[in-house]
Structure 1
Amino acid sequence: MSKDIKIKKGLDIKLVGEAEKTVEQAIISNFCTIRPEDFHSVIPKLVAKEGATLKAGDVIFYDKSNEDIKFVSPVSGTVVEVQRGPKRRIDAIKIQADKEQSFKDFGAFNMDSDTAAVKAHLLTSGCWPFIKQRPYDVIANPEKSPKAIFISGYASAPLAADLDFVLSGKEAELQATVSVLSKLTEGQVHIGIGSNNSPLAGMNDAVIHKVFGPHPAGNVGTHINKIDPVNKGETVWTINAQDLVVIGELLLTGKFNPERVVALAGSSVKKPRYFKTRIGSEVATMVYDNGVEKDGNDRIISGNVLSGKQLKPDGSLGFYDNVITVIPEGNDYELFGWNKPIFNKVSTSRAFTFSWLNPKKKYDLNTNTNGEHRAFVVTGSYEQVFPLDIYPMQILKACMYQDLDEMEALGMYEVAPEDFALTEFICVSKQPHQDIIRKGLDLMLKEIG
């Protein structure tokens, strides 16, 4: 069963530095770091203290508000540091990895088990945090049942990892996870794919949707809006395509093995390509062997250039990320940059810019915002790149003046910050759209729940 999703509104940002389709084993990282900030709204309660010896799959911490949601170690090793912030907030747990990895054995899962057994197994093994929910874009509440589950097998963001490539050969793990997820909802498991060659194209127990159009056609929020929008009182769950492989391997073998095939991309990388590594591994083992200078003027991003998180040189791969992007830092000043023809930048406006004349050209862009923060200007440009059936300007303003009733009426229940990454990119007012939406969602979660 298939239903096509065709998107006309959007923007494909073609950048230099796309990863070549070759995979190498990354240099094994000595340290693995798990950061609770990757799990929004989670307040961690530490289980593994400094000096604790762990196997891959042992519990590090759990969520104070729901003790059933456990977060486990991606590697076997010793906890060498617990980094804390203000009021003794846990900022990171650093684990020194063993050279020979050992795994906690959860046992092969009986695929005929009922819904309760599926939930219990995913919670015990630490795989539950891979499942997120709308509304609020937080880890799914296991006590609720979603009306549908959405998986995007098509990454349309700039320099994103090619999911058809990284999932190749993992059909058994993918099918095991999809079959188990279908037991967690009374509705359907919806999978969006970009081509018929996708490893997800032949999945049973799911509805396959062929996706066409510019970015954000690959965003799961776009699929939700076009297939089964979220209304008040409803819940849908989402999961990243590569996380299906981790869950599938756990179901089939009993091992929690959070291996990632990560795309190292960007114009600052000498040889962009794919690496096999693990969640939480040091990015320095991949970045600084590929032409990126340690003291260079570059920005390292865990995730894509639109919605990823900036890393320090000693940073680690984010829990949900499968791409590391390195582009030049845009901290230089361009004299009269607003008052001359521009040929080397992307813009939806035709004033002084000419990117529309050559839509296939790839650009070497930096992080410069080309302007300062100012008040919202009504231009109508957001609607050109925003395919959701939502008013973007109005919902952003409702979040800023914290009108909960208006936020509900405008569709806040089905959005996530990444849905506003493109509107932030083209914003002439240089407003932080994703941060505004995140704060609005946090307010709704606190006040409405």
Structure 2
Amino acid sequence: MSKIVKLKKGFDINLAGKAAQEFADLAAAQTFAIKPTDFLGIQRPKVLVNEGDTVKAGTPILFDKAMDQVMYVAPVSGEIVEVKRGEKRKLLEIRILADKEISYEDHGKINLSSVDRDTLKSKLAAGGVWPHLIQRPYGVVANPAETPKAIFISAFDTNPLAPDYGFTLQGEESYFQAGLDALVKLTDGKVHLNVDGSKSVPGIFSNAKGVVINKFSGPHPAGNVGVQIHHLDPINKGDLAWTISPFGVVQIGKLVVNGVFDASKVVAVTGSELTKTGYVKTLGGASVTSFVKGNLNSGHVRVISGNVLTGEKISLEGYLGFYHSQITVIPEGDQEEFLGWLKPSAKKLSFHKAIGLFSFLNKGEFKVDTNTHGEERPFVVTGVFEKVLPMDILPTYLFKAIIAEDFDEMEELGLYEIIEEDVALCEFVDPSKNELQELVRSGIELLMYS
């Protein structure tokens, strides 16, 4: 049975630079990359290609020795121009110079009416779309050897400047339904499709068949799938659920229907430091250079693959993350500000009224930089985390349990239910300026590998 959930806790961050629902006139990307660092849980990546090799879109280029049936494949066809490594030869990127015409590896179409679950898993894993399936708890790439109690899809994003899925997935209705049909075969439980109950639901979601459609409304993080799971079917010790983005569902559908790994996607190019914002048609792992260079209001900016709360800082020559459908460019915040937070202003975005003293006068969009307006210091118990996290957990005590490496407390206080994105807003409002997302990941790894 579907549910309607209205959330009151949270905070919407209204930033300048939203992408209008139109395609921006920006140059196409020339190079693409797959970044193993995008895939949490990879322990021992094994590279299958060398510099100078040619590949097709969908050609396997690496796998994890700990889960060798799951292939990570090339998003485009072309030449491998660099296998980039960091300290201790850590694999950072595999860069591909794309062909003008993309050619595809044929993985074979999948007949969902006759295929069994194990065969379907094998085909999805070999075809490169399996990494879209993320396991809860821990937020790592799902293991095909396991079966989840349910699968959850958040069909809307409440993060700052987030793309509109109704716009980015136009024309993909048949692939989305095919992807849903495949997901239904992967679980004995339900597939939950969670939509924005405060707006008109796009037809691609409202017309979906074979799934449970739930409605969520409220401020951010109402669009976070972890919050939605908490209110639908919470994760306890021993439970296993999978999540996937709407774009991931479409990619699975394209593999099922056409037998190819099609990485084409519509990406939102956003942020106050861009002269032109909007949407661009590109492919996964695209170089952001063509979207950003020559499109800046200033030369001192932070380029982010993803959103400002959970995205990854990249260079002007960086690449779009595997799970990202958004590029954000904001001012770099490495300058000192006279009087700092003591200076009253109606232009400062803050959850705390004492900082943005006259912020109630300004209900428009805010232009923010990366300045944290303070330094890291011991936790102050203010109760502010509980005001922005709409889950029945005690975040302050959970964070302290992680610091103390108290395994029993971490489990009892709800670490199985959250990953980094669920506490990103807590990090934003934290008066102590702690790296809470990094802290949560350290706690997760303690539980995973203990």
* Band the TM-score falls in, shorter-chain normalisation: over 0.9
SS in structure 2 at match of 1:335: coil
Question: Deviations along 1:296-320, whole A, 9 cap, x unmatched?
Answer: 1100000001110100111000000
Q: CA deviation at 1:335?
A: 1.3
SS in structure 2 at match of 1:14: coil
Matched letter for residue 84 of structure 1: R
Query: Which residue in 1 is equivalent to 2:308?
Result: 305
SS in structure 2 at match of 1:192: strand
Q: CA deviation at 1:168?
A: 2.1
Percent identity over the alignment is: 44
Query: Which residue in 2 is equivalent to 1:279?
Result: 284
Instruction: Return the alpha-carbon distance in structure 1 between the equivalents of residues 67 and 157 of structure 2.
Output: 32
Query: Which residue in 2 is equivalent to 1:87?
Result: 88
Contact 1:24/1:276, CA 8 A, preserved across alignment: no
Instruction: Return the alpha-carbon distance in structure 2 between the equivalents of residues 16 and 387 of structure 1.
Output: 26
Query: Which residue in 2 is equivalent to 1:412?
Result: 415
SS in structure 2 at match of 1:60: strand
1:192-203 equivalences in 2 (<5 Å): 192-194=194-196, 195-198=199-202, 199-203=204-208
SS in structure 2 at match of 1:184: coil
Q: CA deviation at 1:340?
A: 2.8
Question: Deviations along 1:236-289, whole A, 9 cap, x unmatched?
Answer: 000011121111111111121111211001100112100011111100111124
Query: Which residue in 2 is equivalent to 1:10?
Result: 10
Instruction: Return the alpha-carbon distance in structure 1 between the equivalents of residues 306 and 389 of structure 2.
Output: 21
Matched letter for residue 435 of structure 1: E
Q: CA deviation at 1:348?
A: 2.1
Q: CA deviation at 1:26?
A: 5.1
Matched letter for residue 306 of structure 1: L
Matched letter for residue 128 of structure 1: W
Query: Which residue in 2 is equivalent to 1:398?
Result: 401
Query: Which residue in 2 is equivalent to 1:70?
Result: 71
Matched letter for residue 238 of structure 2: G
Instruction: Return the alpha-carbon distance in structure 1 between the equivalents of residues 352 and 93 of structure 2.
Output: 42
Q: CA deviation at 1:403?
A: 1.1
Q: 1:249 to 1:318 in 2, by over 3 A?
A: same
Q: CA deviation at 1:360?
A: 3.3
Count of matched residue pairs = 445
Query: Which residue in 2 is equivalent to 1:48?
Result: 49
Q: 1:26 to 1:119 in 2, by over 3 A?
A: farther
Counterpart of 1:246 (choices 241, 246, 251) is 251
Instruction: Return the alpha-carbon distance in structure 2 between the equivalents of residues 80 and 25 of structure 1.
Output: 27
Contact 2:26/2:291, CA 8 A, preserved across alignment: yes
Counterpart of 1:223 (choices 203, 224, 228) is 228
Contact 2:148/2:240, CA 8 A, preserved across alignment: yes
Instruction: Return the alpha-carbon distance in structure 2 between the equivalents of residues 97 and 121 of structure 1.
Output: 25
TM-score (norm. length: structure 2): 0.96
Query: Which residue in 1 is equivalent to 2:22?
Result: 22
Query: Which residue in 2 is equivalent to 1:346?
Result: 349
Instruction: Return the alpha-carbon distance in structure 2 between the equivalents of residues 272 and 69 of structure 1.
Output: 36
Contact 1:216/1:419, CA 8 A, preserved across alignment: yes
Instruction: Return the alpha-carbon distance in structure 1 between the equivalents of residues 118 and 195 of structure 2.
Output: 30
Contact 1:26/1:276, CA 8 A, preserved across alignment: no
Instruction: Return the alpha-carbon distance in structure 2 between the equivalents of residues 246 and 305 of structure 1.
Output: 25
Q: Which consecutive aligned stretches of 4+ in structure 1 deviate over 3 angstroms post-superposition? A: none
Query: Which residue in 2 is equivalent to 1:147?
Result: 149
SS in structure 2 at match of 1:116: helix
Q: 1:26 to 1:104 in 2, by over 3 A?
A: farther
Instruction: Return the alpha-carbon distance in structure 1 between the equivalents of residues 368 and 26 of structure 2.
Output: 27
SS in structure 1 at match of 2:249: helix
Query: Which residue in 2 is equivalent to 1:377?
Result: 380
SS in structure 1 at match of 2:449: helix
Q: CA deviation at 1:197?
A: 2.7
Matched letter for residue 175 of structure 2: E
Query: Which residue in 1 is equivalent to 2:443?
Result: 440
Instruction: Return the alpha-carbon distance in structure 2 between the equivalents of residues 148 and 25 of structure 1.
Output: 41
Q: CA RMSD in A?
A: 1.4
Q: 1:206 to 1:438 in 2, by over 3 A?
A: same
Matched letter for residue 314 of structure 2: L
Counterpart of 2:317 (choices 308, 314, 318) is 314
Q: 1:391 to 1:359 in 2, by over 3 A?
A: farther
Q: 1:110 to 1:28 in 2, by over 3 A?
A: same
Q: CA deviation at 1:380?
A: 0.8
SS in structure 1 at match of 2:178: helix
Contact 1:269/1:326, CA 8 A, preserved across alignment: yes
Long gaps (5+) in structure 2: none
SS in structure 2 at match of 1:150: strand
Instruction: Return the alpha-carbon distance in structure 1 between the equivalents of residues 223 and 355 of structure 2.
Output: 30
Long gaps (5+) in structure 1: none
Q: CA deviation at 1:196?
A: 3.9
Q: CA deviation at 1:428?
A: 0.5
Q: CA deviation at 1:292?
A: 4.8
Instruction: Return the alpha-carbon distance in structure 2 between the equivalents of residues 213 and 253 of structure 1.
Output: 38
Question: Deviations along 1:109-161, whole A, 9 cap, x unmatched?
Answer: 10212211210110110111111011110000111110010000011011001
Q: 1:409 to 1:359 in 2, by over 3 A?
A: farther
Contact 1:104/1:255, CA 8 A, preserved across alignment: yes
Query: Which residue in 2 is equivalent to 1:172?
Result: 174
Q: CA deviation at 1:215?
A: 0.2
Contact 2:346/2:362, CA 8 A, preserved across alignment: no
Query: Which residue in 2 is equivalent to 1:38?
Result: 38
